[in-house]
Amino acid sequence: MNSLPVKPLTAEAFFEFGDVIEMDQRASQPMNRGMAERFPSLAKVETYGDKARAVISLVHSRRYSMPHSIELIERHPLGSQAFIPLDDTPFIVIVGPIGDEVDVSQLRAFKTNGSQGINYRAGIWHAPLFTPFDNMNFVCVDRDGEGSNCEEWLIAEDERPQINF
């Protein structure tokens, strides 16, 4: 059993995998005659392939019990996928670099600060939403369209990274 260390999520650490959607330390622009501020384009939505477009969904994720072994990693080759939490609760983001195979030694785990959302770039390997602290609701922005946009990678039992708190 391989223990996977969990680090705080920062835009710098997550840069090769996608975007961190947060207001902290980001530039904003006034809008609505000064009554609002926009933190613009924190994530760019990727939609490739036929009849592709971005859609907005909501997702309810149940609380996972600890310790938890990561069995499955997936990727969406035709589009990015963003999750922004509607509850002020952290969740765990597990990602791996682009490549045809998953190298378990290259997986990285990050803990959000409760308000951060993330956007996986197209093709980035990632674990399914992992919510060990509470049931959570998310806004999801991803691709709808033709073609196969979900590939799964089952990790061999003796290689599965374990997360614990």
Give the residue, chosen from 104, 139, 153, 160, that forms a contact with a copy of itself under the rule CB under 8 A: 139
* Residue 13 DSSP label: H
Q: Identify whether the C-beta of residue 58 lies closer than 8 Å to the C-beta of residue 127.
A: no
31 contacts a copy of itself (rule: CB under 8 A): yes
Report the alpha-carbon distance of residue 107 to residue 40 in Å, rounded: 29
Contacting residue, 7, 8, 60, 98, with a copy of itself by CB under 8 A:
60
Contacts to a copy of itself from residues 83-122, by CB under 8 A: 84, 86, 115, 117, 119
Contact range with a copy of itself by CB under 8 A, out of 8-16, 41-49, 99-107, 153-161: 41-49
Here the tokens at position 158 are: 């003796």
How many CB atoms sit inside 10 A of residue 25's CB? 7
163 beta partners: 68
Considering only 20, 82, 93, 124, the residue that binds a copy of itself (CB under 8 A) is: 82
Q: Binding a copy of itself by CB under 8 A: which of 1, 7, 15, 40?
A: 40
Let me know: does 49 contact 78? Beta carbons within 8 Å. yes
E strand or H helix at 12: helix 11-14
User: What does the block give as tokens for 56?
Assistant: 């907005």
Q: Does 146 bind a copy of itself (CB under 8 A)?
A: no
- How remote is the C-alpha of 12 from its chain's centroid? 15
Task: Please choose, out of 9-17, 53-61, 97-105, 157-165, the segment that lies near a copy of itself by the rule CB under 8 A.
Answer: 53-61
Q: Applying CB under 8 A, which residues contact a copy of itself?
A: 19, 21-23, 28, 31-33, 35-47, 53-62, 64, 72, 82, 84, 86, 115, 117, 119, 128-129, 137, 139-141, 144
